[in-house]
Amino acid sequence: MTDLAELYPALGYNFKSKKLLKQALTLGFENHFAGYERLEFLGDRVLGVIIADMLFRTFSKEPEGDLARRFTALTRAETLACVAKELQFELYLISAVPSNKPEPTTAVLSDICEAVIAALFLDGGLEAAKQFVARYWTPLMEKLSAPPVDSKTKLQEWAQARKLSLPVYAQISREGPDHNPVFIMQVSVEGFAPVSASGKSKREASQAAAAEFFKILENK
């Protein structure tokens, strides 16, 4: 097994309880209590608070809407997965069932990244988590010279420019356990077939559905 202590320099922190880091990197427990899922729930909230604080202080003159768009870009699954790949978390993943090790998909790597943030928070307090997030998210924040236009806003403006009715979003289903749900949202645009996508929240799934609408449109 790869020594998890090898991650300490990249994390900028030496764990007092390596068990927490091991739990954050462990996949496949049937009862979801020994693996990363509960930590991912906490890490999502810790990351959100830290990113919101960083944005609030860095962009002191921006309105709430611009801050929200930056926040969405910095906390989406693809961003977290990129950080996880930079740290090569996939090399340290532990499977509770060695013969059935899940593929390190974007969703899995995103969740693992949040679980590691939770482990840092529990072992070293908010400061340990803040130092880690600042180290890897500050460069990402600096790349966003202007607030990104999210997919829902883009789709709304696209529809308005063509004098179509505003896009309508509807929840199709909610799957998975309460601590780690997956929402399926559908977007309907006048004159086009409905498009669905999934996400860890209604908001994320709606954004994904809007983005998928444009992908389909571009391929026509």
Helix (H) or strand (E) segment spanning residue 174: strand 168-175
Report the predicted TM-score, pTM, of the whole model to 2 decimal places.
0.73
Q: Looking at 37, 40, 111, 114, which residue is catalytic?
A: 114
What span, in angstroms and rounded, lies between the C-alpha atoms of 70 and 64? 10
**DSSP 3-state assignment of 187?**
strand
* pLDDT band at residue 30 using 50, 70 and 90 as cut-offs: very low
* 136-195 pLDDT tens trace: 999 999 998 788 878 998 999 899 999 999 999 999 999 987 777 899 999 999 999 999
* pLDDT band at residue 31 using 50, 70 and 90 as cut-offs: very low
Whether 6 is a known active-site residue: answer no
% of the chain beyond a pLDDT of 90:
69
Domains assigned to the chain? 4-143 (1.10.1520.10), 151-218 (3.30.160.20)
Whether 178 is a known active-site residue: answer no
Q: Looking at 44, 123, 150, 204, which residue is catalytic?
A: 44
